[in-house]
Structure 1
Amino acid sequence: MTDVLVIGGGYAGVLAANRLTQRDDVTVTLINPRPDFVQRLRLHQLVAGTHDAVVDYRRILADGVRLVVDTATRIDAAGRQVTLVAGGTVGYDYLIYAVGSGSADLSVPGAADFAYPIATLEAARRLRRVVAAAPETAPVTVVGAGATGIETAAELAEQGRRVTLLCGGVLGPYLHPRGRRSIARRLAKLGVTVLDGATVTAVTRDAVRLGDGRELPSEVTVWTAGFGVPDLAARSGLSTDALGRLLTDETLTSVDDPRIVAAGDSAAPSNLPLRMSCQTARPLGAHAADTVLDRIAGELPATIDLGVFGQCIGLGRHAATAQLASKDDTANRFYIGGRLGATIKETAIKKMVKELAEEARKPGSFSWHFKDDTRRQVLKAKPGEAPATQPLSSSNHT
């Protein structure tokens, strides 16, 4: 038997774990710090009290996958084992590194004490309690105007909250100007005050201070600015990019160890990572599993060929903007807004859970039809790309 260990039970990790069960001679263990699957796309809804944002793993995890509820603290690549917080180790023949992402460090003075991040289930639940306890008239400030910030601001404003959205640059920096205007109109209709170019210099218990000297009253400050990744790879002596994502070649194989493969937000293929999103996490999870299966079979793994369709941003329960993009993930002038956009957004979220469940029932069934041949062109012009590692034999240590 070949033992494969998957660290991280998000979209990438679950899809990879399920896909690995195609072979009867492979045992799959999934390590995740929580007993339930977290729908990160719904965490802003959890904050507003409109969804619990979790799914029972029994709905989406293949019967052949062993779930270990714990946290990995160190990867011993030489010894092929992972140390756990609860004590003990888990050995592996191959490891899929899918630890995901979370909030960036809150380095602004006072932010760590008085602002509330939203990138994890625990953080979102904590913020939910704070919001529920605050008077409806309490001023709420959302710092960061990417997709998460916009969705959180809209969700709270739709419930009658007084919300100010602070943009370090522009509203929705990924968006095309036409899509940005669509979102701005919806936020204005909901009563959200949007401040572009607002640099936060400090956060206090009841205010947010800006770089231009203004001080905004804020009884609840929500922090959505930036994402970081767990430092497990770096702490384990593996090569990472500047953000801490595991450096891999184009097959998603670690540049340090051909038995370690990465997927999702924590992967940096050729030091040219894709945008952090569940949209890319699922196909990367599938590809990581395929890379491991190819190595077990003694075959040369394929390189990634992944494009995207854009970004869909929810604007409360009754509207959304689906921003379309070119294959290289550059937003174009086309978007779908309003109720139709909301239908597209909700359908996509539900479909992602269904895809995980389908892969559990029929491993190998997931496919991704968006491709991007421009990535190869970029890599050809990029010096120092790590060559793809060679396939290993199917031997193992068990």
Structure 2
Amino acid sequence: MVENTRVVVVGGGYAGVMAANRLTQRDDVTVTLINPRPAFVHRIRLHQVVGGSQDAVVDFQEVLAEGVRLVVDTAARIDAAGRTVALAAGGSVGYDYLIYAVGSGSAHPRVPGAAEFAYPTATLEEAERLRAVLVAAPATAAVTVAGAGTLGIEIAAELAEAGRAVTLVCGEVLGPYLHPRVRRSVARRLARLGVTVLEGPDAKVTAVMLDAVQLGGGRELPSRVTIWTAGFGVPDLAARSGLSTDALGRLLTDETLTSVDDVRIVAAGDSAAPSDLPLRMSCQAAGPLGAHAADTVLSQIAGEHPAPIDVGFFGLCVSLGRRAATVQLASRDDTANGFSLRGRLAVKIKESSYQGLIRHLADEAREPGSYAWKLRDGRRRDLVQTTRGEAPATAERSSTAGRSSTAGRAATAGRAATAGRAAAER
């Protein structure tokens, strides 16, 4: 009798749930999803949780295939040699293949006082804690948002629309991803909402105090509630487990999303660094990367060579309060251009993105293998080769399967550049 192949997915975000659902195509594969929460977090609604206009919790029954076993716990360590995942509550889960989809969270702030007095917002628990603080604070209390990437802009707009006095400290420039023309449009909308936007070389928070923030140049700004949205980090599970990571801590993989250390481990989503050239941390990339990770595992089970990733972008949706939004358009390689959509159309697109992400997961749960992504970037292979400075090399890697595949390591310069860019924008 042939035993089922055991696949464990670590992380139940957009990428992890997509991967888990897709793996159920085969009846001889058992899928276990390890996630620290009993419910799915619709992460791109967290700014609305902070503003009190929406919830971000979805029942796993709505998005997860019936055949997937859910283990509510935190993965403490991956034992690649023993093919087990140790759980924080005790015990372990064995696997034949593992998909590493632990996602991302708030980066640890290095600014003095930020860890003690500022409120991060990258997780559900952080957003709910901040919401409670805002509810308790007077309506006239000064609010400072540090960091002007997408999350910072969306939180500032949400709170200003609700009547809060908000200052957005950009750290050089508003919306680093945005094209200058689109950036000016976003700035005008924020101004209409009453948000004070601080840009320039001195628009950086250098210290956070209980009731104020200090900016570059020594300026002090009163702040009853300081919100920290400056950058994203990833869990250190891979590093703690002895696996190779990039400078930010993402799992290093080849172009098929297979770990450079072990062909039995495949990565997806924000925590993946294919060829040390990770895609922008975003829900846009999470779905395709989750599906591709599952396809890589299924190919390996079938004895076939996995395909390289080919994921393109359309741009970036930014909500500017409940009644306005901007859709920054981009080339498929994720380079922003001077075109954008605004007005009611942009609001509809932004709202449809909330619903669309959940629908994609639910559809894949009902019909595994049906999800397909239309946007592709055929130039990535050239980028990888150019970054290496040579043609892709094939390296032997030790594993119990005894297979060889592309090593997928890129130059250190490419690592530093892409790590900074990915952490700056969602």
Q: Which runs of 5+ in 2 are unaligned?
A: 403-426
Alpha-carbon distance change, 387 to 154 in structure 1, aligned in 2, over 3 angstroms: farther
Unaligned regions of 5+ residues in structure 1, if any?
A: none
Query: Quick check: 1:324–1:332 contact (8 Å CA) kept in 2?
Result: yes
- Please report the TM-score for the alignment, with normalisation by the length of structure 2: 0.91
Superposed counterparts of 1:192-211, under 5 Å = 192-197=195-200, 198-211=203-216
How high is the TM-score relative to the length of structure 1? 0.97
Counterpart for residue 366 of structure 2: 361
Q: Following TM superposition, by how much is the alpha carbon of 1:379 offset from its aligned partner in structure 2, in angstroms?
A: 1.2
The CA distance in 2 between the partners of 1:393 and 1:73, in whole Å, is 25
1:26 and 1:176 map into 2 onto residues whose CA distance is 45
- Corresponding residue number in structure 2 for 1:264: 269
Mapping of residues 381-396 of structure 1, within 5 Å: 381-383=386-388, 387=394
- State the alpha-carbon separation in 1 of the partners of residues 356 and 310 from structure 2: 22
2:71 counterpart SS class: strand
Aligned pair partner of 2:335 in 322, 330, 333: 330
Distance 1:293 1:202, change over 3 A: same
Q: Letter of the aligned partner of 1:379 in structure 2? A: V
| 1:4 aligns to 2:7 (yes or no) | yes
Report the equivalent of 2:284. Answer: 279
- Counterpart in the other structure of 1:351: 356
Residue-by-residue CA offset, 1:178-227 (whole Å, 9 max, x unaligned): 11111111100000000002111110110000111111100000000000
Matched, 1:14 2:7: no
**Cα distance in 2 for residues equivalent to 1:175 and 1:103:** 21
Contact preservation (8 Å) 1:104, 1:226: yes
Correspondences of 1:231-310 after superposition (within 5 Å): 231-310=236-315
Which residue of structure 2 aligns with residue 147 of structure 1? 150
Work out the CA distance in 2 between the residues paired with 1:386 and 1:129. 53
Deviation at 1:374, TM superposition (A): 1.7
Counterpart AA for 1:161 = R
- Tell me the distance in 2 between the aligned counterparts of 1:154 and 1:350: 21
Q: Does 1:225 align with 2:230?
A: yes
What is the Cα-based RMSD across aligned positions, in Å? 1.4
Q: Deviations over 1:91-119 (max 9, x none)?
A: 00000000000011111111011000000
Instruction: Please report how far the alpha carbon of residue 121 of structure 1 lies from its aligned counterpart in structure 2 after TM superposition.
Output: 0.6
Equivalent of 1:94 in 79, 82, 97: 97
Partner SS state of residue 209, structure 1 = strand
- Going from structure 1 to structure 2, the CA distance change for 1:92 and 1:156 (only over 3 Å counts) comes to same
Alignment check: 8 A CA contact 1:297 1:393 kept: no
Percent of aligned pairs sharing the same letter: 72
1:377 aligned to 382, 393, 400, which one?
A: 382
Alpha-carbon distance, 1:339 to partner: 2.3
Q: CA deviation at 1:387?
A: 3.7
Equivalent residues of 1:253, 1:389 under 8 A apart: no
Separation (CA, whole Å) in 1 of partners of 2:185 and 2:249: 35
Return the alpha-carbon distance in structure 1 between the equivalents of residues 54 and 102 of structure 2. 24
Equivalent AA in structure 1 for residue 279 of structure 2: L
Deviations 1:351-380 (A, max 9, x none): 000000000000001000111122111112
Q: 1:388 to 1:52 in 2, by over 3 A?
A: farther
SS at structure 2 position matched to 1:381: helix
| C-alpha distance in structure 2 between counterparts of 1:389 and 1:20, whole Å | 27
For residue 123 of structure 2, what is the aligned residue in structure 1?
Answer: 120
Shift of 1:382: 2.2
1:388 Cα offset (Å) = 7.8
Runs ≥4 in structure 1, deviation > 6 angstroms?
Answer: 388-394
Structure 2 vs 1, CA of residues 295 and 337 (structure 1 numbering), >3 Å: closer, same or farther? same
2:68 aligned with 1:65? yes
> Residues of 1 paired with 2:216 and 2:178: CA distance?
25
Find the residue that maps to 1:247 and give its secondary structure. strand
Q: Deviations over 1:278-320 (max 9, x none)?
A: 1001000000000000000000000001110000000011010
Q: Equivalent residue for 2:83?
A: 80
Distance 1:389 1:274, change over 3 A: farther
Secondary structure at 2:54 match in 1:
coil
- Between the two proteins, the alignment pairs up a number of residues equal to 394
**1:327, 1:371 within 8 Å by CA — same for their partners in 2?**
yes
